[in-house]
Amino acid sequence: MQHLKHFQGLAQVFFIRSPSSRLSKSVIPSLSVWDGHLSCRWRSTGGHGRQKYFNDRLPKFRFALAGLLAGTGAVLAYKLQQDKVQWAATSAQLRVTQTSDLPIYTLEEVTKHCSLDSGVWVTYKGAVYDITEFVAVHPGGDKILLAAGGALEPYWALYAVHQQDHVLEILSEYKIGVLDAESYKKQESANPLDPYSAEPTRHPALQINSLKPFNAEPPASILSDNYITPSVIFFKRNHLPVPRVDSEAYRLDIEGLPGGVVSLSLSELKSRFPKHTITATLQCAGNRRSEMNEVKQVKGLNWGIAAISNATWSGARLRDVLLFYGFGPEVAAKAKHVQFEGLDRDVTGTAYGASIPLNNAVSEEGDVLLAYEMNGEDLPPDHGYPVRVVVPGVVGARNVKWLGKIVVSDEESKSHWQQNDYKGFSPGTDWDTVDFKSAPAIQELPIQSAITHPAEGTSVDRSDREVTVKGYAWSGGGREVVRVDISVDGGKTWHVAKLRTSDQEQHPAPPPPPGRAWAWKLWEIDVPIPHRAQELEIVCKAVDSSYNMQPDTVAPIWNLRGVLSNAWHRVKVKVSEGFKDQK
């Protein structure tokens, strides 16, 4: 039912083409109930009479659409009647043909059509499509607008259900032209003098907070679609250029153990130590910083609610490696920290570095990994290829990527990012009075939750009677999220959400061992829309196994770096009068 909420505000757009459209006909879905089954066919109409068709068929259309559109990321699964339309596209792959009757466009022309006002154009395999009319009935709601003015391929790669013949056939009806040869082959030329010239290709769905170094988060609307976040949209937090590392020449140096310096190759790391896999959430210390900026400006990237993601990680336990190379009581008696140094360096040659307490590193329950796989594949370049540290339950800044050195030491890392960043202070501390030495480095993170659906400023339809609310919740230090409370009236009344621990609701993951709840929980709830409410202030707050709870407002936890932002998350949406209420 939630997908219908996108329909109301876009109904007129569905039947009014953009002035820039080149199509002489439009495609309108005709839905009916046939022998108890929902059927669908796509009919072409001329430019006249569309509004009359809409008015005549709307009640039945909306009822049928409600049954058809079920589940986020679903596709138009339809049953063709015996008079099934014979589609022009006979292949699952749409071939680009430079025919005289189709206009040729440049990428620049396509990118201008990136909104409902200007028309929504997309490209697929070199062809250009005007999908403005389809937006209103897209089963995935307005997520399709993420591709507006650009290519569909990277978005469809996230949702394999699109790779079906009937989806491509529907798309073919919106074809308006093809890209010119230069645009089809166009790619940005790299500047060899730029330290960022060898950066990896990133998914266009990512919302960029900084290009150099690259920092980006996925749109909140798709963050909770998957329990395991696809690697391509897992949030990216880089401090320096991404290094290019030859896996054959790679060496991991370990210092501070009785045998002197150890140099370990990637193949040795994989062959000498058992492979261990965990599911763990990583979160940037600056997640939700934008809400602190609304109280008072802070220094740092303006992260929204999506600087957090969940993945499976595989590699060797750090504990196993240290024990193998001589770690024992005599080392533990004089060492307190384990330092990590990355292969990413600034123009002076200084590497990114961080450290964690020694107890975390050698604890059998700590699950600290020297990871070389993410989601069952080699680490992507943005996530630390070929080896990174994964310290579950700890702030993302300590999960050092492109790991080059480990040092067992009696001192914390002297890195800037350990000593003069990623620390929290009183709201009364400013940049004139701050003393970074006076505060401990952030390690375990506090309880956190946020609403991913609905989005701020959108509307819900009163006729649906309920609003579906979705989001995530997570706590640091291995503390399990045990409850998420939801309110739609700003916190006056509360409802308990249903928690999800896998991508398959019928097969939830078993409860984690106490103190080892490394992964987030996704949650969802349908809440009745209060009678006569004109606006909903939706609020979420989570509770962990130690009964830690989120603070209700941002101001008391504000700090000059904008870290540890975990107040109740609030989203305001309008309540619109639905079609059922109209006379």
Which are the catalytic amino acids? 138, 162, 237, 284, 422
What separation in angstroms does the CA of 211 have from each of 204, 277, 461?
13, 32, 38
At 8, list the tokens.
């109301």
Amino acid at 266: L
Contacts of 291-296 with C-beta under 8 Å, sequence gap 24+, read 291/554, 291/565, 291/567, 292/554, 292/558, 292/559, 292/562, 292/565, 293/562, 294/554, 295/554, 295/555, 295/558, 296/558
Amino acid at 45: T
- Give backbone dihedrals phi and psi of 3, rounded to 5 degrees, phi first: -65, -25
As a whole number of angstroms, the distance between CA 199 and CA 9 comes to: 40
Residue 303: count other Cβ atoms within 10 Å of its Cβ: 27
As a whole number of angstroms, the distance between CA 471 and CA 297 comes to: 26
User: What one-character-per-residue DSSP string does 279-337 give?
Assistant: EEEEE-TTTTHHHHHHHS--SS----S-SEEEEEEEEEEHHHHHHHTT--HHHHTT--E
- Which residue bears the tokens 């990527």? 401
- Residues with Cβ within 8 Å of 450's Cβ and at least 6 positions away in sequence, in order, are 220, 288, 305, 471, 472, 540, 569
As a whole number of angstroms, the distance between CA 524 and CA 538 comes to: 13
Coil, strand or helix at 137:
helix
As a whole number of angstroms, the distance between CA 322 and CA 328 comes to: 9
Tell which residue, 224, 227, 65, 79, has the closest CA to residue 139: 65
Beta carbons of 310 and 279 less than 8 angstroms apart: yes
111-117-123-128 Cα dihedral, nearest 10 degrees: -100
Residue 234: count other Cβ atoms within 10 Å of its Cβ: 23
- Through-space distance between the first and last CA atoms of the chain, rounded to whole angstroms: 22
Tell which residue, 107, 25, 37, 39, has the closest CA to residue 76: 39
- Residues with Cβ within 8 Å of 241's Cβ and at least 6 positions away in sequence, in order, are 195, 196, 198, 199, 212, 213, 344
Give, in degrees to the nearest 5, the angle at Cα 351 between 345 and 352.
Answer: 105
Alpha-carbon Rg for the chain, nearest whole angstrom, is 26
